[in-house]
A and B are shown apart, each in its own frame.
Chain A
């Protein structure tokens, strides 16, 4: 799982400095985990995301944004509650899911929002 700084985010996900309308820059659908080290539920989601990143390698990217270190990114998405997972499909608008989700719910969202069939 790659950690996103603002620079990488602009390049790989969405260049909000150049575009007003959502325009995804990636080649694979992705999930972006907005988290912080002080957040217990975030720690519970992390290993699940790690597993999914391995299980679905080549089908999607999973990124993490440390909301403490990347406050501008967190503010750009209006993050007020973590963990928040942003599901970014290839050709549609992204959808945010707030709160710790169990693995099955993440897989369901991957299927419904990202069009990724279960392995």
Chain B
């Protein structure tokens, strides 16, 4: 059984984890990234990134490949297919990380666990999701299977709008169901959506102020039940599939009892230095309280934690100090 010690073990190989790994490894810290699948996380589902500075348009997988190349060049090890099952703080101050039969020791841990698709929680969702029979959470992945079919989409954020526009390229008819009137998505995306909706003979329709209450069908999705939240009117929308884009939930279940989580499962931390309630354990990206859930801010979180890790190594007592406006000894 491996029990190798690292300066820095990063749990999660998405943009936050790779951002942390870049800075930690480039600073010659012995760095290991443990990734449950293969690096990338949610950003792998995006085929069009236009808001990462320096890249006018790049796909998620392409950007991740570049990030992997960059961090490994500086010596970070990435172990994919490694699911962390538990963490514990030892008397020595080190942190023990258990992972698929392997055990690693770390002076510091950065939790960059990312998040998973939030479910609607309505009847029929789980049945058709498990059967691969018309419930999907990834427009980029599954839109081509709905060529010339009728689909419903749910949500009002960036992913909902972007993936609904993508769906409209394949499906004969797309109805975007949103529980409110206005969209949370950025204006540029909302404008693109509205332009498409207002095209003569558009295959894209909106159902604002409406929620999905059930997903129905025999062997596959045949319709969804809708309810207008203002008028309480109910209706049936016949469709071959439903795409659910209603945000994310943090992947923090296994940390219960080890670290303090918010009621919604996000990891509690101080927003300046991203210190969690366990000394030596930082948090970065979507899984922390107050995350902006953006690619850039995830990377930024990762970088910040790798820098703050040095401060912790210099002075472990710093962990319990309050946020200071004094530049730390020696700067960076």
Contacts and interface: CB of A to CB of B under 8 A. Distances in A.
Interface of A: 36, 38-48, 51, 67-68, 74, 78-84, 96, 98-100, 102-104
Contacts of B136: 80-81
A51 B144 contact: no
B100 A103 contact: yes
Interface stretch (B126-134, B153-161, B182-190, B268-276): B126-134
B41 to A, nearest CB: 8
B141 A78 contact: no
B180 interface: no
Interface stretch (B43-51, B258-266, B285-293): B43-51
B104 interface: no
B284 to A, nearest CB: 20
A80 B133 contact: yes
A44 B131 CA distance: 21
What 6 pairs between A and B have smallest CB-CB spacing?
A: A40-B44, A98-B132, A103-B81, A44-B37, A44-B38, A81-B132
Contacts of A103: 81-83, 100
A68 B144 contact: yes
Contact of B145 (A41, A51, A80): A80
A41 B42 CA distance: 8
Given A44-B37, A44-B40, A78 B133 contact: yes
Interface residues of B, number: 33
Contacts of B46: 40
B98 interface: no
A102 B83 contact: yes
B220 A38 contact: no
A69 B46 CA distance: 21
B61 interface: yes
A85 B241 CA distance: 20
A82 B100 CA distance: 25
Contacts of A39: 138, 140-141
A46 B38 contact: yes
A78 B219 CA distance: 11
Contacts of B129: 81, 98-99
A81 B83 contact: no
Contact of B83 (A79, A80, A104): A104
A41 B83 contact: no
B107 interface: no
B39 to A, nearest CB: 8
A43 B130 contact: no
